[in-house]
Structure 1
Amino acid sequence: MKNRWITFFIGIITVKVTGKGIERFINTLLRNGLYIWSVRRNGIESIQFKMRLNDIAKLRIISRGSGLRIEFLKREGLPFLFKRLLLNSGFLVGAIVFLIIITILSNMIWGIQIKGAEPATEYKINKELDKMGVKVGKLQFFVENVESIQRQLTNNIEEITWVGVELQGTTYHLQVVEKNEPEKPKYLSPQHLVAKKKAVIVDMFVEEGQAVVDIHDRVEPGQLLVSGLIGKEGQNVQVPAKGEVLGETWYKTKVVLPIKSTFQVYNGEEVRKHTLKIGNLKIPVWGFGKIEFKEYETESNEKKINFINWTLPVSLVSETHREEETETRIYEQKEAIEIAKKMAKIDIKNKLPEEAKIIGEKVLHQTSDNDKVTVSIHFQVIENIASGQPIIQGESE
């Protein structure tokens, strides 16, 4: 089978030999190393066989003076197929151009569908997509991947909480989740408001219920702040106590900061390479040679090529290699202490509710040595310390 494929690429000729002394002529061909097959007789003085195209010149030389008549009946194989294609080059070129056009059209953006967004939000999304180049009629190869589109839309449009982007064939499908409007107050069952933590009361806003503490009072965790029982003794009515009780609370945090640290940074140098990927085979298209950087990070982006409704095992891969350098940062001790203080403040803010405010800070302890600085800071915070606690059935003041 392997030899048959080789001879197909070389070219195959069907030869008819007519005359006397055919057997002697066949033996002469074999002695001269000519490969023939499918030998069959057409009569007493006629025989037919197949041979390789590149042996025809030897056949002509051997047949001189033999008195035999040589006819070439049939031509097969790649050389003759290629010749016929050249004779029909117009059809061939038309077929290639047709396939190229279909492939290009199959990789263009033909639709953008947005679901789950209000008209005003949808208009903003379309404008943002237009800025990114995601528009009908543009080739998908020149558009960023869906993860990047999703990230930019979420970051740049305040009205949306999340957006899912999916490319199906030639259409981008976007599923949008908008930010919810403030929820309507839910019905609350009868409850008290109690302290979540130790604090000193600085202000109170009671919407419903009876306050049982006052400003400047010091409270402990679980202590009653606003009662959900109102009315005269013995005629109490249970209500859902509502309001805010602002208290001064205290936090302590500790930060350890190395004086010397190393990290990787980009220096601005980069090399871009583009390859055509067919299965596991990669064919360089642009950007040849080795990467000369000692340390670098590679960002890869692969664009699949579609043909009508099929995804071909062919893709365009672009790689960006960014050079990295090792940077060493050394703080002065005074500078390190200030940075440690800022880090401590950020750490506390991350632990507090959004409405909480830091009103004071005091460094309790700070140490420094050759390797690091250690800072302990006490923070004073104003926050809502009230938490709902259901009223137990049968409870009365």
Structure 2
Amino acid sequence: MLVLKLWNYIAGYLVIRVDGLSLEKFINLTISNGIFLWGIKRSGYTTMTACISIGGFKRLKGIAPKVKCRVKILGKKGLPFLLVRLRHRKMLLIGLTAFMVVLYFLSSFIWMVDIEGNLKVPDEELLNVLAKYGIRPGAFKKGLDISAIENRLVTDIPDIWWASIQIKGTKAIVKVVERAQPPPMVDKDLPCNIVASKDGIIHEMVVLEGQPMVRVGDTVKKGQLLVSGVIEDPETKATRFVHAMAQVTARTWYEGQAICSVEEGVVRRTGKKVVHKFIDMGRWVVEYQKGEIPFKHYEVEEKRVPFFGEGRFFPVTMIVREYYEVEKLPASMSLEVLRETAQKRAMEDVNKKIPSNVKIVDKQVKYDMIEGKGIKATVYVEVLEDISLEQKINVE
């Protein structure tokens, strides 16, 4: 769709008004003759407006009389008509050309470096390593070996497990995944037990070395012995110490809570909205469409729409801000909305506690009415996770 709009702008098109009693026949004839109309809007039973290419408009001469419709040009859009208007304004045309040349030149450089995903590794450390290999504000984009820089970033910073670099327009977006810190491990040459890192119910056990002390289905407590590294021979009664190795998967539970207050109330959108548009050219932001916001309470959503295919050639984007009017409702008016809000917040709370390497198998929600306060939601999430933890055996 974006390519089609760009082509229509470059080739030029007309905005026309069609008057007549047979508008449907007019549209059908244009389609059957290979004439493309877009942006069709009916302003009445006998009137409509549409956009049409210059070549398509010339071919309408044989169609409009057949269905007794009158066609009138309302506007001329696109680059050819703009150049005609600029023909007698040479300095403006020269300035526009120079602006496009400068814009293209500036788009060949990186002007912004965004880093995502790092929690422990400081931005400064990442930026210094990236700058070392050519990813920095003011750097020329051409000739950068992105794949090699990604590998060097992982090699130079031990806490980084994975890195991805994308160049979009004049911005370099660097996404990293940090290495998860494993629990302290006992040297393989030292004897150790496997104990439970938390409470749970044993779901599966894979024991590679050691003596199992629990079975599938047993309930265990944090710190309880799961696999012993002390093995006694039943015949000789001799005792030997081994480095126990096992993967013990258990069903564990996480809990999240949240309260949606009666005093706080809830909001909902009324359906009314106002749209503001801006053109972002890197260092300059130009207002394209802006007006007053007539709402007392509103929510804002912002999105960026590239003009030229993700901004790879020209770093120009359209910023679209949508202001949605909202109204505040007393909690008593919408108990169901209160419940949904409380549950959503409780889920956000519990998600912060759940490790990323577990499998969620069940989820339950409990609601409680708190007199004078609101609704309390408690979310219980059941997961499967490895609870095995190595514990050194002191042999004296």
User: Who wins on radius of gyration, i.e. which is larger?
Assistant: 1
> Shorter chain as normaliser: what TM range?
0.3 to 0.5
- TM-score for both structures, normalised by structure 2: 0.43
